[in-house]
Amino acid sequence: MMRALLLVLVGVLAACSSAKRENIKPPKELEDIETRISVQRLWSRNLGDVGGRSGLDMSVTAYQGRLYAANTKGELLVIDPNSGSEINRLRTKHRFASTPGAGEGVIAVGTLDGTVVVFDAQTLEERYVQQLTSEVIAAPVIAEGHLFARSHDGRTTAHELSDGRRRWLHEQAVPPLSLRGNSSPRYDRGYLLNAYDDGRVIALRADDGMVVWQQQVGLGEGRTDLERLADVDGEIVAADGVLYAAGYDGQTVAIDIAGGHTRWNRDLSSVSGVALGQHLFVSGADGKVVALDQHTGGALWTQDALENRQLSAPAVVGRYAAVGDLEGYVHWLDPDTGAIVARDRNGRDAIRSAPLAMGDVVYVTTIDGSLTAYRVSGS
- Please state, in angstroms and rounded to a whole number, the distance separating the CA atoms of residues 118 and 115: 10
Residue 314 is predicted with a pLDDT of 97
The pair phi, psi for residue 292, each rounded to 5°, is -115, 145
Q: What is the pLDDT of residue 185?
A: 93
pLDDT of residue 348: 92
For residues 120 and 235, what is the distance between their CA atoms, to the nearest angstrom?
A: 26
Q: For residues 353 and 369, is the Cβ–Cβ distance under 8 A?
A: no
Q: Output the pLDDT for position 18.
A: 42
Distance CA 290, CA 367 (A): 24
Question: What distance in Å separates the CA atoms of residue 79 and residue 93, rounded to the nearest whole number?
Answer: 21
| Separation of alpha carbons 42 and 45, rounded Å | 11
Q: What SS3 string covers the chain? A: CHHHHHHHHHHHHHHHHHHHHCCCCCCCCCCCCCCCCEEEEEEEEECCCCCHHHCCCCCCEEECCEEEEECCCCEEEEECCCCCCEEEEEECCCCECCCCEEECCEEEEEECCCEEEEEECCCCCEEEEEECCCCCCCCCEEECCEEEEECCCCEEEEEECCCCCEEEEEECCCCCCCCCCCCCCEEECCEEEEECCCCEEEEEECCCCCEEEEEECECCCCCCCCCCCCCCCCECEEECCEEEEECCCECEEEEECCCCCEEEEECCCCCCEEEECCCEEEECCCCCEEEECCCCCCEEEEECCCCCCCCCCCEEECCEEEEECCCCEEEEECCCCCCEEEEEECCCCCCCCCCEEECCEEEEECCCCEEEEEEEECC
What's the pLDDT score for residue 13? 41
User: In terms of C-beta density within 10 A (0-12 exposed, 13-18 middle, 19 or more buried), how is residue 251 classed?
Assistant: buried
**Whole-number pLDDT of residue 252:** 93
Q: How far is CA 325 from CA 76, 139, 309, 349, in A?
A: 26, 22, 6, 9
Q: Which domains does the chain have, with CATH numbers?
A: 39-171 (2.130.10.10)
pLDDT by residue for the chain (379 residues), tens only, comes to: 333 333 333 344 444 444 444 446 899 999 999 999 999 999 999 999 999 988 898 999 999 999 999 999 999 999 999 999 999 999 999 999 999 999 999 999 999 999 999 999 999 999 999 999 999 999 999 999 999 999 999 899 999 999 999 999 999 876 544 454 478 999 999 999 998 888 889 999 999 999 999 988 855 544 444 344 346 678 999 999 999 999 877 789 999 999 999 999 999 999 899 999 999 999 999 999 999 999 999 999 999 999 999 999 999 999 999 999 999 999 999 999 999 999 999 889 999 999 999 999 999 999 999 999 999 987 5
Angstrom distance (rounded) from CA 29 to CA 26: 9
pTM to 2 decimals?
0.89
**Cα-to-chain-centroid distance, residue 329:** 18
Burial (CB < 10 A; 0-12, 13-18, 19+), residue 93, is exposed
